[in-house]
Amino acid sequence: MKTKPFYCRMPLHSLFLTWLGFLLISLSIHVQAQPKTRNITAFEIKRGTNISHWLSQSTRVGAERQAFFTEKDVANIASLGFDHIRLPVDEMQLWNEAGQKEPEAFALLHQAINWSQKYHLKTVVDLHILRSHYFNAAEKPLFTQAAAQERFYQCWRDLSSELKRYPVTQVAYELMNEPVADNPEDWNKIVEKAIQVIRANEPARIIVVGSNRWQSHEEFDTLRIPANDKNLLLSFHYYLPFLLTHYQASWTKTAKYQGPVHYPGRTVTDEELAAQPADIANLVTNYEKSHIKTVYNAAKFQQDFQKPLDFARRYGLKLYCGEWGALNTTPKADRLRWYQDMVTVLEKNNIAWANWDYKGGGFGFTNAQGENYQPEMIKILTGKAVTARK
């Protein structure tokens, strides 16, 4: 007598349940084996301004520090049409020399972020100056001393611990302002480790990473970033032509130059230089070097922005010009034309930006009281028409 095959002896519904069980187990194993992917954080910004000389580059303390930047300023920034602030903070403001947090300074930091949220502004918290790194200092222990590097990482452990309460869609972290490493790989190694430190507790936080050598647009071919981290925002700064944007700036090597400057076109012509005393002409020529004969205009800005744009597109990331501006000592008409072309080219390329600065010094569009005394510049930056306040 012929026997039936084994599979025919099992009821059809049992066969189906057995097959379904194997399928679910197989799918479970497959899913567990896949690497976890990190969601991309929506941190949308377009136009911002820097809150300088408050928790950074300032000797103000106590009541004077509290009064310098207030809720009134945040309300004004929002009313003008900005969507975020870049908030520079210094190690020496937030931590004492023993590395202990300064409660009053951290309270001001939290207050500023809370005000920003109240007025629907986002915040980029920028670790601006370290005790081991200042962009214009001759010695930068951050790149030569392991203890200085560990101190930097600890700053970010502290900041992350303090700020992780805020939504990742509202607050971003900028690793450090304007790194200046002789060897770009020294900066790349610090970037890699600092990102790991933050990611240990905040996998979805937007981290702003700048290029080496004062966040130069020219240095993006030396920058190295994690290939698969999409919650990064790439940053560069732009102050060219320097003779124009820092015209008569007391801290620069060209401070003594009192001759004409122009925009657009060449900043200073050969004939204008020849009319200067020999020592001044040589000073300008030697300092500006390759830039002295450069024609600056919107096309030049586009050309300069192309390297960071290409780098950002290669990694599928967004780009941020976190600082740019021209001193109030720059001839007004030339200065306004420079601002107009900068805004046009930045926004044409979907590059988010924050001008330097709000009211901290000679770059600001408000006076010391936070009153809008430069309506033409505000109109260029935001499209908002305001009444000038003296």
Residue 34: the pLDDT is: 32
Is the pLDDT score of 8 beyond 70?
no
The CATH number of whichever domain residue 97 belongs to comes to 3.20.20.80
> Confidence band (pLDDT; 50, 70, 90) for 137?
very high
Is the pLDDT score of 193 beyond 90?
yes
Q: What is the pLDDT of residues 93-135, one digit of tens each?
A: 999 999 999 999 999 999 999 999 999 999 999 999 999 999 9
Q: What range defines the domain where residue 361 resides?
A: 47-244+296-382
Question: Does residue 256 lie within any of the structural domains?
Answer: no
Is the pLDDT score of 161 beyond 90?
yes
Question: Does residue 325 lie within any of the structural domains?
Answer: yes
Is the pLDDT score of 233 beyond 60?
yes
Q: How many domains does the chain have?
A: 1
Least confident of 36-50, 190-204, 373-387: 36-50
| Averaged pLDDT for residues 58-64 | 94
Q: What is the pLDDT of residues 313-336, one digit of tens each?
A: 999 999 999 999 999 999 999 999
Question: Does residue 65 lie within any of the structural domains?
Answer: yes
Residue 341: the pLDDT is: 98
Residue 21: the pLDDT is: 47
Residue 50: the pLDDT is: 98
Residue 289: the pLDDT is: 81
Question: Does residue 139 lie within any of the structural domains?
Answer: yes
What is the residue-averaged pLDDT of the chain? 91
Residue 26: the pLDDT is: 43
Secondary structure in 3-state letters for the chain: CCCCCHHHHCCHHHHHHHHHHHHHHHHHHHHHHCCCCCCCCCCCCCEEEECCCCCCCCCCCHHHHHHHCCHHHHHHHHHHCCCEEEEEEEHHHHECCCCCECHHHHHHHHHHHHHHHHCCCEEEEEEEEECCECCCCCCCHHHCCHHHHHHHHHHHHHHHHHHCCCCCCCEEEECCCCCCCCCHHHHHHHHHHHHHHHHCCCCCCCEEEECHHHHCHHHHHHCCCCCCCCCEEEEEEECCCHHHHCCCCCCCCCCCCCCCCCCCEECCCHHHHHCCCHHHHHHHHHHHHHHCCCEECHHHHHHHHHHHHHHHHHHCCEEEEEEECCCCCCCHHHHHHHHHHHHHHHHHCCCEEEECCCCCCCCCCECCCCCECCHHHHHHHHCCCCCCCC
| Averaged pLDDT for residues 60-84 | 97
* Residue % of the chain over a pLDDT of 70: 89
Question: Does residue 250 lie within any of the structural domains?
Answer: no
> Confidence band (pLDDT; 50, 70, 90) for 3?
very low
| Averaged pLDDT for residues 335-341 | 98
Residue 390: the pLDDT is: 56
Question: Does residue 303 lie within any of the structural domains?
Answer: yes
> Confidence band (pLDDT; 50, 70, 90) for 389?
low
| Averaged pLDDT for residues 166-191 | 98
Residue 4: the pLDDT is: 35
Is the pLDDT score of 23 beyond 90?
no
Question: Does residue 117 lie within any of the structural domains?
Answer: yes
Residue 20: the pLDDT is: 44
Is the pLDDT score of 70 beyond 70?
yes
Question: Does residue 371 lie within any of the structural domains?
Answer: yes
Residue 388: the pLDDT is: 73
Enter the pTM of the model: 0.89
| Averaged pLDDT for residues 244-259 | 94
